Amino acid sequence: MGVMRIGHASIKVMDVDAAVKHYENVLGMKVTMRDKSGNVYMKCWDEWDKYSLILTPSDRAGLNHVAYKVENDSDLDIFRKRVEDYGVKTELLPEGDLPSTGRMLKFHLPSGHEMRLYAMKECIGTDVGSLNPDPWPDDIRGAGAHWLDHALLICELNPEKGINRVADNTRFVMECLDFHLSEQVMVGPGRDIQAATWLFRTSTPHDIAFVGGTGNGLHHIAFFLDDWADVLKAADVMAKNKVRVDVSPTRHGITRGTTIYFFDPSGNRNETFAGLGYLAQPDRPVITWTEDQLGRGIFYHAGELVPSFTEVYT
């Protein structure tokens, strides 16, 4: 019973063809489906469900929704009641509302971001299959991302106005969806304002994260790589493809992950993130970062925040 992992992100792009080329050539994803509305569905080589990314044509960039897969179809009914009892309205979308996908529970986080839960998605297998598989396929392109790993959402944080959607979202996903807290950033004179949180359902440091900002938006969607060598290679791929890199290869203090941040052609931020960090467990003591060490938390080597990283989002 329960949320298993991040299932997909649906994002807005202003030029679908340019976006497809980016996710194909830079990340190594493949198109698996296109629907009548011009939406494009893509998947990474090491994923078994039909898609983890939906590109929707739009006049702007940003997130449509983020979806998490649950173990059983009956979990949707259980979560529906828990979410509604918490005071959040839900809508049950029928099977086929998204192609190759079963029914979905749709609701909005306290921050306003749309989240969906689903149990069924068509399984088409990883690129290496399940019978005596090779460790990787021959036709890996670009960075060869294994899978969509997590999303980081910007949530309104305004202590003077008493608004903290980071804390509101955190409490919601912990109480209603059984997410566990791995790390948090505490700021303010009393270090009592929860300004950023990282939460998990898998045993990796985060499957979702919330960070305080001036509004509501998408900070990034992240794709998983194995190790530092893969991260360096990914950076080369970005240079070859003239991709706008936001932060060149470095390590996060938070989650211990090694990382690169870059932008897709519509300005949606991507991350290639490597390493399993540590074993995230419900009983692992929560890690806290303080405002004075935030530079180290985000960029462990340089120890300084970069303006574009903290202030640019879609």
Partner 1 sequence: MENEFFHVKILTTGEEILCRKGESLLAAMGRLGRRGIPAGCLGGGCGICKIHVQSGHGVAIGPVSRAHVSDEEEKSGYTLACRFSAMSDLTVSVVGKFRKPFLKGFGNGL
The CA radius of gyration of the chain, in Å to the nearest whole number, is 19
Cβ of residue 257: shortest distance to partner 1, in angstroms?
18
Task: Give the strand order in the sheet containing 62-70.
Answer: 30-34, 40-43, 53-57, 3-13, 62-70, 114-118, 104-108, 90-93
Any contact of residue 159 with partner 1 (CB under 8 A)?
yes
Nearer to partner 1, 91 or 311 (CB): 311
CA distance 268 to 19: 10
Task: Tell me, residue by residue from 93 to 132, as one string, x for binding to partner 1 by CB under 8 A and - for no binding.
Answer: ----------------------------------------
240 binds partner 1 (CB under 8 A): no
Element (H or E) spanning 212, and its range? strand 208-213
User: What is d(CA 128, CA 237) in angstroms, rounded to the nearest whole number?
Assistant: 23
CA distance 223 to 247: 15
Cα distance between residue 281 and residue 262, in whole Å: 30
Catalytic residue among 22, 113, 206, 219: 206
- Cα distances from 163 to residues 51, 212, 284, 296, in angstroms, run 35, 10, 29, 26
Q: Which of 100, 111, 268, 272 binds partner 1 (CB under 8 A)?
A: 268
Figure out which of the listed residues 31, 46, 56, 62 binds partner 1, where binding follows CB under 8 A.
62
Catalytic annotation, pick one of 150, 183, 219, 313? 150
Question: Binding partner 1 by CB under 8 A: which of 1, 60, 139, 303?
Answer: 60
Contact in structure between 273 and 222 (CB atoms under 8 Å) = yes
Is 150 a residue of the active site?
Answer: yes
Query: Angle at which helices 165-177 and 73-86 pack, to 10 degrees?
Result: 130
* Interface residue with partner 1, options 47, 75, 264, 271 (CB under 8 A): 264
- Taking the C-alpha atoms of residue 250 and residue 298, their distance in angstroms, rounded to an integer, is 10
Q: Which of 196, 199, 235, 247 binds partner 1 (CB under 8 A)?
A: 196
146 is catalytic: no
Cα distance between residue 20 and residue 25, in whole Å: 8
157 contributes a contact to partner 1 by CB under 8 A: yes
Catalytic residue among 146, 183, 220, 313: 220
> Is residue 307 near partner 1 by the rule CB under 8 A?
yes
Q: Which is nearer to partner 1, 105 or 294 (CB)?
A: 294
Count of residues for the chain? Answer: 314
Verify whether residue 206 is a known catalytic residue: yes
Q: Is 301 a catalytic residue?
A: no
CA 266 to chain centre: 17
Contact residues: partner 1, CB under 8 A: 14-15, 59-62, 154, 157, 159, 185, 187-191, 193, 195-196, 211-214, 244, 246, 263-269, 290-292, 294, 305, 307-308, 310-314
What is the set of active-site residues? 150, 206, 220, 252, 261, 271
